[in-house]
Amino acid sequence: MSQFWKPGAEKPRLLDDEEGGVVFLSSSLSSASSIGYGYASIEKQRQRLPVYKYRTAILYLVETHATTIIVGETGSGKTTQIPQYLKEAGWADGGRVIACTQPRRLAVQAVASRVAEEMGVKVGEEVGYTIRFEDFTNKDLTAIKFLTDGVLLREMMDDPLLTKYSVIMVDEAHERSISTDILLGLLKKIQRCRSDLRLIISSATIEAKSMSAFFHARKGRRGLEGVELVPRLEPAILSVEGRGFNVQIHYVEEPVSDYVQAAVSTVLLIHDKEPPGDILVFLTGQDDIDATIQLLTEEARTSKKNSSGLIILPLYSGLSRAEQEQVFSPTPRGKRKVVISTNIAETSLTLEGIVYVVDSGFSKQRFYNPISDIENLVVAPISKASARQRAGRAGRVRPGKCYRLYTEEYFVKEIPAEGIPEMQRSNLVSCVIQLKALGIDNILGFDWPASPPPEAMIRALEVLYSLGVLDDDAKLTSPTGFQVAEIPLEPMISKMILSSNELGCSEEIITISAVLSIQSIWVSGRGAQKELDEAKLRFAAAEGDHVTFLNIYKGFLQSCKSSHWCHKNFINYHAMKKVIEIREQLRRIAQRIGIVMKSCESDMQVVRKAVTAGFFANACYSEAYSQSGMYKTVRGSQEVYIHPSSVLFRVNPKWVIYHSLVSTDRQYMRNVISIDPSWLLEVAPHFYQQHRLNPIH
């Protein structure tokens, strides 16, 4: 294994070297208090963060500028400290609230609990958080609120000027998620009506100048000549100097064919050869993370080298609270923590104690092709900017090392300098409906930080029109359009819920919607594939995955929501509890918009029709006598296949509808249901007149 690395390929770069001044910060208050430190010790920890030196400057800039752009290395204290400084300076007085947005839900939860700990309060009181389907805030008490950018957008539907907030900090702006971009465009508009509102745009790496230019460019509005306006409209830019340590970069000599295996070997190599220090491995998603953990656990057990002492933990969205806490809790003496993460640990979360980073060079990214109207999640190469961020995570507490599972030549020549904003590589159906619901009619003329491709916009308008959400003038229809916009799910799911009302199967469709809005209800894991498949067979319905979900839900209720039952059936207990919670909230929302709860009992035909009414655009057919399992999309004649995780894998009914696509060697349909093609004309005549339905006839 040792020849795996190019010896001496050390690149002293990235961050300032501060050898000698190594300080090991305790990573959480609970650990500090358990060994008898009091409040002062947290104060000390806070004061050691790089951002502390800038406290006065930040408060001054926020006071005097409408927008302040703050750039600072990950871990410098932006997210956890700035909202507290603002509160201490009185920005939450008089019942006002300081908001801090994050693109990721897990980051919202983790940061809120950290800040609550630092302030010695309970989450949900002075410090609260809101993510979709989870609200831990208190109307009277919450002064600092962490939330996803998507939730803040939704709040605008009820309160377009976001009047309860005094300061809104749009954090992780460099990630350029769709919601962040929409939010930036809308906040710029709000600023014109609210001179009391302050914005902070913060991130680890941002083209501060272009962001500043975006906020400064105002169509047709200028301050009076020679008059100093307060707040000043020109954004202030503040750069927080980090104090990371030097990180040596190592590349593989030859390209690796299996990054899961390569990651496992590298972790074991580090553990065998390198001094203590935790390891952070960047992979792409729950599936390869679980696979890596399984393999690493096995190899660590069988390896002759000393591989005891490894604590192996996953980090991805959808982890339970307890699992999250393990990741953030300090590593016991004599042990080495290995955290296997998605790119959430790239800039959103800081883990103390990381000295070694293993970077697969990939992440899961959304890609959308407006021509074929296909969007899928693809494991794709990261950008150079991301690779640098990942490496930087190794230099947090002392000089570290980063092992890149790709060659130096690949890094230099092949991967792009920056990522593409999500807005420019996504299906825009949800984005368009949200803007419409907020009364933004001229979507193409909207002031975007990065303009979306017009073809994607047109596709989105077309789909919304055929869903009956938009009318001929591209305005929201009443009531359908407004109802669809009201449900915090993708418009196709919302439409499916509305149709279930007419079809008399709202109980079933709400269950299905809840299941579709979480990642997976199965316990994944290589090795036990056979048992998992057998468990699936117990619930499998001939109609497809959606009906299978109903069987599982029924079984879970009959077991009295037993964790033992879940365990026995390879079902993720935590995910099922989440399904119950989401379902309850969806039921409330549905009833609010006038949907009557009704069960169709065993009539699965109406359930399939309701799914078709929402997802008709995802219809596919298999050619007669096709043995290959190949399907074609009705819309664009694209080749797609049923994902092996589907209960319809190898069953191959002639006509199906899928919920989403994932792309690996092929385009795979996930969550598939069989349909009768005549329903397509019934539920979406307009759509299918335009797109010939030859195979039906």
Residues 321-380 that bind ligand CDP (CB under 6 A): 328, 350, 352
Q: Which residue has the tokens 């359908």?
A: 480
Q: Which H or E run contains 321?
A: helix 321-328
CB 95 within 8 A of CB 137: no
Torsion of CA 293, 175, 517, 572, to 10 degrees: 20
User: How are beta strands 67-72 and 198-203 bridged, if at all?
Assistant: parallel
- The residue count for the chain: 697
According to the binding rule CB under 5 A, does residue 205 interact with Mg ion? no
Rounded CA separation 261/443 (Å): 46
Question: Smallest Cα–Cα separation from 450: which of 409, 422, 408?
Answer: 422
141 DSSP 8-state letter = T
Question: Smallest Cα–Cα separation from 179: which of 421, 481, 385?
Answer: 421
Whose Cβ is closer to ligand CDP: residue 205's or residue 350's?
350
- Residue number with the smallest Cβ distance to Mg ion: 79
Q: How far is the CB of 244 from ligand CDP (least distance, A)?
A: 11
Considering CB distances under 5 to 8 angstroms, the limit depending on partner class, which of ligand CDP, Mg ion, none binds residue 104? none
Q: How far is the CB of 75 from ligand CDP (least distance, A)?
A: 5
Considering CB distances under 5 to 8 angstroms, the limit depending on partner class, which of ligand CDP, Mg ion, none binds residue 49? ligand CDP
Whose Cβ is closer to Mg ion: residue 79's or residue 248's?
79
According to the binding rule CB under 6 A, does residue 74 interact with ligand CDP? yes
**Cα distances (angstroms) measured from residue 97 to each of 86, 113, 169, 594:** 10, 17, 11, 32
Rounded CA separation 490/433 (Å): 10
According to the binding rule CB under 6 A, does residue 543 interact with ligand CDP? no
Q: Which of 114, 174, 336, 609 binds ligand CDP (CB under 6 A)?
A: 114
According to the binding rule CB under 5 A, does residue 79 interact with Mg ion? yes
Rounded CA separation 459/372 (Å): 10
Considering CB distances under 5 to 8 angstroms, the limit depending on partner class, which of ligand CDP, Mg ion, none binds residue 198? none
User: How are beta strands 247-251 and 400-404 bridged, if at all?
Assistant: parallel
According to the binding rule CB under 6 A, does residue 79 interact with ligand CDP? yes
According to the binding rule CB under 5 A, does residue 389 interact with Mg ion? no
Whose Cβ is closer to ligand CDP: residue 77's or residue 400's?
77
Give the binding-site size for Mg ion (rule: CB under 5 A). Answer: 1
According to the binding rule CB under 5 A, does residue 109 interact with Mg ion? no
Q: How far is the CB of 27 from ligand CDP (least distance, A)?
A: 4
According to the binding rule CB under 6 A, does residue 72 interact with ligand CDP? yes
According to the binding rule CB under 5 A, does residue 81 interact with Mg ion? no
Q: What b-and-e string marks burial along 207-222, b requiring 16 or more CB atoms within 10 Å of the CB?
A: ebeebbebbeeeeeee
Q: Which stretch binds Mg ion (CB under 5 A): 71-79, 116-124, 209-217, 677-685?
A: 71-79
**Cα distances (angstroms) measured from residue 500 to each of 495, 552, 583, 600:** 9, 20, 15, 10
Q: Which stretch binds ligand CDP (CB under 6 A): 4-12, 79-87, 247-255, 286-294?
A: 79-87
Q: Which stretch binds ligand CDP (CB under 6 A): 24-32, 295-303, 478-486, 516-524?
A: 24-32
Q: Which stretch binds ligand CDP (CB under 6 A): 20-28, 520-528, 575-583, 652-660?
A: 20-28
User: What residue ranges bind Mg ion (CB under 5 A)?
Assistant: 79
User: What residue ranges bind ligand CDP (CB under 6 A)?
Assistant: 25, 27-28, 49, 72, 74-81, 110-111, 114, 328, 350, 352
